[in-house]
Structures are given as C-alpha cells and as structure tokens.
Amino acid sequence: MPVTQFDTKEKYRYQNGFDSHLESEAIKGALPIGQNSPQKPPYGLYAEKLSGTAFTAPRHENKQTWLYRILPSCAHPPYQPSPSPPASSDDADATAQWAKGEKLHYIPNQLRWDPFDHDESKHLDFVSGLRLVAGAGDPVVKQGLGMFVYAAGRSMDDKSAFYSADGDLLIVAQEGDLDIRTEFGWLLVRPMEIAVIPRGVKYQVHLPSGPVRGYALELYQGHFVLPELGPIGSNGLANPRDFQPPVACFSEDCGATASEGGGRYTVTVKFNNALFQTEQAHTPFDVVAWHGNYYPFKYDLGRFNTIGTISYDHPDPSIFTVLSAPSSVAGTAVADFVIFPPRWLVGEDTFRPPYYHRNTMSEFMGLIKGGYDAKRGGSGGFVPGGASLHNVMSGHGPDAASHEGAREAELKPVKVGEGSCAFMFESSLMMGVSEWGLRTCKKVQEGYSEESWGGVVTHWKRPEDKEVRSHLLE
C-alpha cells in the first residue's frame, strides 16, 4: 500500500499539489475575486503579499502568496535580541549554535553519531531544542544550508510564534508527532512524514503525543523543487498530488492596537543565525484567506514510488531523491533530500547494497526507523535517531560484515528495508561540523571508521602463471 499506516489518526483537511497555485478561505467570500488588493478587502481584512522570490524572478520560478488577514504583520514593536535562557551549561551550549560566526570544523574523517538525547530536553520546545550539527555557507548572502537535529519535551506557548528569515526549513519527524500551526493553517506531521516551512512563515509547534526527536535542514539558497524525471517519464518518485498544503484557519484575537501597546504574543525570528524577539498585542495567526504558490506543506514518505534496476548493477542513489534544491550548476544541488524506503532488489550478478564510493557531494544520513541494509545496527551502530556524515571525497560504503554477507548472498528477488526508512541530506558543499555536533553532544562514535572498515577482507588472488605487465616502455 503506497501510504504509511500511522499510529496517530489524521485530524486535518488539506489541499493537494506541489508548487501549484492554490487558494483557501476559512470564511466564504474572504478572497477577493479578480484582483489581489482591492481598496476595501472583504470583511475589513488587510491584503498582505508574502514574496519568496524577487518580484522579477522568472514566472516559472516566482513564489508568492497573497494573505488576507485581520491585522498586517508589520503591526508590532521593534525586535530586540532574544534574552538569554537560564544560565545552565546545557542551555548555554544550546544558544551557542545561534551565535554569528560560530566556528565550524572542516574535517575529512567519516563521522557517526549515537541517537541524540531527548531525555535531557524535557524543558525545551521545538525552537530551543534545535541543534546545529553541520552546515556550509552564509544566510546573509543566501548561500548554503544548515543541518540540524531537534529534541523537545514541551509544546511552544500558545501565545508564541517563530519564523526564520534565513531559509526554508525541511523537517524530518523521527519520533513523536508535531502539530504545527502556521499562518496558512495546521499540519499534523508524524514519523514517516516530512514538512517544509518556507522562509518568513510564522509557526508554532505542539507535541500532542509527548517528547519528539528528528532532523531538519535549513536551506539558505532558493527553494525545494521536484527532481526532473528525464527518461523515467511523467510519473514516479514523489508525485505532485501527494504533497499536502494546509487549509486556512485563523484566530480572531485582535488585542490592542499597536499604538496602545499590549505585548501578549511573543514572536521570535532567526535572523543571520541570531534570535530576536518582539511582543505584540494581536495573534500572528489571523489569516482568514490566502492564494498563491508559496506555502508550507507536508508529505508522507510512504507514498514515494521507488525506481530500481530490473537487470544488473546498482543504480546511483539519486533515483531516491524526493526533493532537490538546485545550484547554478546544471545537475548539481545545494541540497537533495533522499530516502531509502522498503524496496525490491532483483539485480543479477550484482552486489546489491550501496557500492563503495567517494563522492564530490557531502552525505549526511539519518535513520527514521528500522535498520539500514548497508550498516549494522544495535549498540554502537547506525540506529534510529542517530546520524552519519561522509564529507566531500571521504570514502564510505557497506561495513565489513554487510559486505561479506552481500558477497555471499543468494541472488534471488528480495525486499529490503521492511519496516525501515533511512534518509540522506546530500549537498555539493563541503560540510563544517559545529562544536556541538563534534564535541558538546558527546554522541560521536569514536572508532566508527575502524570498526566499519578496519576488518575489510582481502579477497585478492593473483592468477597462477600470469605475469604482471610492465608499465614501462620496451
């Protein structure tokens, strides 16, 4: 069945489509007809344009949405640097990631992490529970990306909101449900679902099933698109109809006017990797209607249509790309989001796990559930909630035990990954590892490379009566 069977039942309605021009109204007649900004929008609403690209971006790349809200977003006091959290060592480490200019460590070694704790994150919400693990580039010039993990034990306050001016956030839920209220409406994001919150969109995260843990990628550059299908044809991989944007839902808490002060709702913004806050009298979630192609959405990874060989050899993992953020170089991505779901392997005379590889791209992998067919699990292995990073040109591939098993396996049709799903954030950029990711989290598996490949067996046998051809001219 091409859908995931979730433990938590869906409770919201959605629209369907990727990069489609959609419209939604919580009250009939709230959307103006035939124009975007009438002199007096319906019901006394304010028209506000949210632009995800420059006005003059090519039509096929232009991202914008018109919002019809009770009060405009500009009605707030000035933002101030966010106050520091309580002075405990854990919280101090947590805020270090937001400091502009934090040193990143650029190293060629293969890295793997044990599952990131959430037991120590009971007092954190989604925003304060984000941890930068690796990244490259600079949000100031809108280039690059950041790779995060998150762990949280409490919901954000009902009178709070967060947005990032730095980039679009792709969230990969690994444990626990995220009930996300956005300006556009609600998204319920469960393990085996992902969500994308575009740059500038305000949201609030609730935890209806208890503590949560997962991964996130913040894209400073451009926006995610569906990969081109080329000779595959017009269907396959992630299909546009399976992406689910929300329907409009609003609150009427207008509060006092901006001139009268107030300060009941706290809005936090991530701006050049620093946090700023303001307090305003009215709710940020007052959008009664909207239309456009710039909006948050979610996607069920169980709907991904995998493509593979039916003859021989192992196709490149790019055939598992769900979303891509292209760079200016054709065929090269700032970020690809790739998954390895349950799939059939049938290749003849083929080593079926991922081949040994050195890549010009950086590969950050995580495991949502189950096991991964190219790595051992269990204590000290690659397990759900953990991660690995194979940086630019760092050799990697199946560990020794996985290789030997695959080398001797009977080559009959087999379905791998039952009950499992791994994913990869892949980037053409060289990744720097944060101080938190390298040392503070204390989750790096020392000896990962030696344990994985130190025991690789030499199978080389020199043929008898065969001379080695000289490389010298006669």
User: Does residue 122 or residue 377 have the better pLDDT?
Assistant: 122
User: Does residue 168 or residue 353 have the better pLDDT?
Assistant: 168
pLDDT (mean) for 395-421: 92
- Give the closest residue to 215 by CA, choosing from 121, 126, 300, 148: 148
Query: What totals of helices (H) and strands (E) does the chain contain, helices first?
Result: 4, 28
Question: Beta-carbon neighbour count of residue 416 at 10 Å?
Answer: 17
Residue 396 known to bind ligand: yes
CB-based contact 195:189 (threshold 8 Å): yes
Question: Looking up tokens 């690995």, which residue turns up?
Answer: 388
Separation between Cα atoms, residue 197 and residue 202, nearest integer Å: 9
Residue 111 dihedral angles phi and psi, to the nearest 5°? -125, 145
Token pair, residue 106, equals 């650029």
Tell me which of 30-34, 234-238, 245-249, 352-356 is least confident: 352-356
Over pLDDT 90: what percentage of the chain? Answer: 83
Q: Which secondary-structure segment (H or E) carries 300?
A: strand 297-300
Q: What is the pLDDT of residue 89?
A: 40
Q: Is the pLDDT reported for residue 362 higher than 70?
A: yes
Own/partner pairs, 256-263, CB within 8 angstroms, 24+ separation: 256/281, 256/282, 257/75, 257/281, 258/75, 258/76, 258/77, 261/77, 263/77
Q: At residue 384, what is the residue type?
A: P
Q: Is the pLDDT reported for residue 158 higher than 60?
A: yes
pLDDT (mean) for 243-270: 83
Q: At residue 403, what is the residue type?
A: H
SS3 (DSSP) at 317 = helix
Token pair, residue 186, equals 């609600």
CB-based contact 148:218 (threshold 8 Å): yes
Q: Is the pLDDT reported for residue 88 higher than 50?
A: no
- Residue 344 C-beta-side C-alpha neighbours within 13 Å: 9
Residue 363 known to bind ligand: yes
Kindly report the average pLDDT of the chain as a whole number: 92
The residues with which 204 forms a beta bridge, in sequence order, are 181
CB-based contact 289:272 (threshold 8 Å): no
pLDDT (mean) for 9-21: 97
Tell me which of 253-262, 271-280, 441-450, 452-461 is least confident: 253-262
Token pair, residue 348, equals 């003849």
192 backbone φψ class: left, alpha, beta (φ>0; ψ -120 to 50) = left
pLDDT (mean) for 141-155: 97
Separation between Cα atoms, residue 171 and residue 118, nearest integer Å: 17
Catalytic residue, from 314, 390, 403, 471: name it: 314
Topology of domain 304-453, CATH = Jelly Rolls (2.60.120)
Separation between Cα atoms, residue 305 and residue 317, nearest integer Å: 14
Q: Is the pLDDT reported for residue 12 higher than 70?
A: yes
Question: Beta-carbon neighbour count of residue 21 at 10 Å?
Answer: 11
Residue 218 known to bind ligand: no
- Per-residue CA distances from 300 to 5, 45, 105, 243, 419 (Å): 10, 34, 34, 8, 15
Question: Beta-carbon neighbour count of residue 141 at 10 Å?
Answer: 9
Task: Report residue 84's pLDDT band, with 50, 70 and 90 as the boundaries.
Answer: low
Q: What is the pLDDT of residue 445?
A: 95
What is the reported pTM? 0.94
Catalytic annotation present for 314: yes
Separation between Cα atoms, residue 363 and residue 61, nearest integer Å: 27
Task: Report residue 467's pLDDT band, with 50, 70 and 90 as the boundaries.
Answer: confident
Task: Report residue 468's pLDDT band, with 50, 70 and 90 as the boundaries.
Answer: confident
The residues with which 214 forms a beta bridge, in sequence order, are 150, 173
- Give the closest residue to 424 by CA, choosing from 315, 320, 308, 299: 320
